[in-house]
Amino acid sequence: MNTNTNIVLACIDGSSLTEAVCDYAAWIAQRVDAPLKLLHTIDHHQETAAIADLSGNIGLDTQEHLLEELTAVEQQVSKLRLQQGKQVLQAAKVRVIQAGIAKPITNQRHGSLVESLIELEDDIGVLIIGMRGKVHENQPDKIGAKLESIIRSLHTPILVVNEAFKTPQRIMIAYDGSPAAEKAIDMVANSPLYKGLSCHLVCVSKDEGTADYLLAVATNKLLAAGGIEVFPIKLKGKADQALCEYQANHNIDLTIMGAFTHTRIHDLLLGSFTARMLLNTHKPLLLWR
């Protein structure tokens, strides 16, 4: 996470998790001394599709008049969404300023959130986003409609927020020796974000010898970097269940793990490990690809 040169990007939409997204983004930006950008997007695709659906099955005599009325309604809705988005950005800007960010950047873009993030990816050090947006904010058994696409599309660290902000004191790395997990180890070792925190390095494996080896190598790397207290832990069982139980029992504030390491077919057959972690944990997840 090269946040010393890249931005901390917070995706906001006015949902119930927007304040938490702002708070975590401000905490990260201050710890790593990076600029903070607040992003709000307006996707007009659904409005246009709705007009096509409503006008497609009516007679030719009335179709043109109805299209004119629907277009006028669409324009009014677009103006209202634009105004609402500006209000959301302004409220978020005030919040991060109060949290200590002197000059936050605000950005409102038109179009798909996923496409906007892909365009911005080269400038992003870490992305912060809520687990659920406005569509699913009252459905705790759901993941946000766009979240999986965002995680699969980007190769930058993504912090998924699912509760009100709490200053992290204890972090957990879900470590399995995979390339994504190795990136996470390097990031924790080299970033000022984690200095002074307790790091629970947790490996869930049936093979104790493999777990011991992986934990030893990763622990040495973290300790060599300095400034981090490391607790290497071996667990057995189903990985997502074991990690979530450990997280709850040891008051872990933030979990770091690789994301969607299996193939799409594997996920469809067995369900995604990442998705299960997102649904079953009650603490923020920092995901690496």
Cα 260 to Cα 287: distance, rounded to the nearest angstrom: 9
User: Tell me: the pLDDT tens digits for 10-30?
Assistant: 999 999 999 999 999 999 999
Query: Are 236 and 211 spatial neighbours (Cβ–Cβ below 8 Å)?
Result: no
Q: Is residue 73 part of a domain?
A: no
Mean pLDDT of 104-109: 96
Cα 93 to Cα 178: distance, rounded to the nearest angstrom: 38
Tell me, yes or no, whether 185 and 273 share the same domain.
yes
Tell me, yes or no, whether 205 and 188 share the same domain.
yes
What mean pLDDT, rounded, does the chain reach? 86
Domain boundary among 118, 142, 161: 161
Q: Most confidently modeled of 39-53, 96-110, 246-260?
A: 96-110
Query: Are 104 and 137 spatial neighbours (Cβ–Cβ below 8 Å)?
Result: no
Of 50-54, 176-180, 237-241, 263-267, the poorest mean pLDDT is in 263-267
Domain housing 134: 7-44+81-161
User: Tell me: the pLDDT tens digits for 79-88?
Assistant: 777 888 899 9
Q: Domain with 280 in it: what CATH number?
A: 3.40.50.620
What's the pLDDT band for 154 if we cut at 50, 70, 90? very high
Choice between 61 and 156, residue whose per-residue pLDDT is larger: 156
Mean pLDDT of 240-249: 94
Tell me, yes or no, whether 120 and 229 share the same domain.
no
What does the pLDDT read at residue 231? Answer: 97
Q: Is residue 261 part of a domain?
A: yes
Q: Is residue 59 part of a domain?
A: no
Structure tokens at 152: 């699969």
Cα 287 to Cα 168: distance, rounded to the nearest angstrom: 16
What's the pLDDT band for 263 if we cut at 50, 70, 90? very low
Q: Is residue 49 part of a domain?
A: no
**Which string of DSSP letters, residue by residue, matches the chain?**
--TTTSEEEEE--SSTTHHHHHHHHHHHHHHHT--EEEEEEE--HHHHHHHHHHHTTS-HHHHHHHHHHHHHHHHHHHHHHHHHHHHHHHHHHHHHHHTT-SS-EEEEEES-HHHHHHHHGGGEEEEEEESS-TTTTT-TT---TTHHHHHHH--S-EEEE-SS-----EEEEE--S-HHHHHHHHHHHH-GGGTT-EEEEEEE-S-HHHHHHHHHHHHHHHHHH-S-EEEEEEE-S-HHHHHHHHHHHTT-SEEEEE---S-HHHHHHH--HHHHHHHH--S-EEEE-
pTM of the prediction?
0.85
Choice between 241 and 142, residue whose per-residue pLDDT is larger: 241
Tell me, yes or no, whether 175 and 89 share the same domain.
no
Structure tokens at 29: 């930006």
Tell me, yes or no, whether 212 and 235 share the same domain.
yes
What's the pLDDT band for 138 if we cut at 50, 70, 90? confident
Q: Is residue 212 part of a domain?
A: yes
CA neighbor of 162 nearest in space, from 277, 251, 50, 68:
277
Tell me, yes or no, whether 122 and 217 share the same domain.
no
Mean pLDDT of 213-237: 95
What does the pLDDT read at residue 139? Answer: 74
Tell me, yes or no, whether 245 and 277 share the same domain.
yes
Cα 250 to Cα 171: distance, rounded to the nearest angstrom: 10
Structure tokens at 105: 């950047």
User: Tell me: the pLDDT tens digits for 156-210?
Assistant: 999 999 999 999 999 999 999 888 889 899 999 999 999 999 999 999 998 989 9
Q: Is residue 262 part of a domain?
A: yes
What does the pLDDT read at residue 148? Answer: 85
Cα 76 to Cα 82: distance, rounded to the nearest angstrom: 10
Burial (CB count within 10 angstroms: exposed 0-12, middle 13-18, buried 19+), residue 100: exposed
What's the pLDDT band for 7 if we cut at 50, 70, 90? very high
**Confidence check: pLDDT of 224 > 90:** yes
Tell me, yes or no, whether 154 and 213 share the same domain.
no
What's the pLDDT band for 260 if we cut at 50, 70, 90? low
CA atoms within 13 A on the CB side of 6: 16
Cα 116 to Cα 40: distance, rounded to the nearest angstrom: 10
Tell me, yes or no, whether 148 and 208 share the same domain.
no
Of 175-179, 259-263, 264-268, the poorest mean pLDDT is in 264-268
Pairing status of strand 158-161 against strand 36-42: unpaired
Q: Is residue 93 part of a domain?
A: yes
R_g of the chain computed on alpha carbons: 21
Domain boundary among 126, 161, 196: 161
Tell me, yes or no, whether 205 and 271 share the same domain.
yes
Q: Is residue 60 part of a domain?
A: no
Domain boundary among 110, 130, 161: 161
**Confidence check: pLDDT of 265 > 60:** no
Tell me, yes or no, whether 146 and 14 share the same domain.
yes
Tell me, yes or no, whether 183 and 220 share the same domain.
yes
Q: How many domains does the chain have?
A: 2
Q: Percent of the chain beyond pLDDT 70?
A: 82
Choice between 61 and 282, residue whose per-residue pLDDT is larger: 282
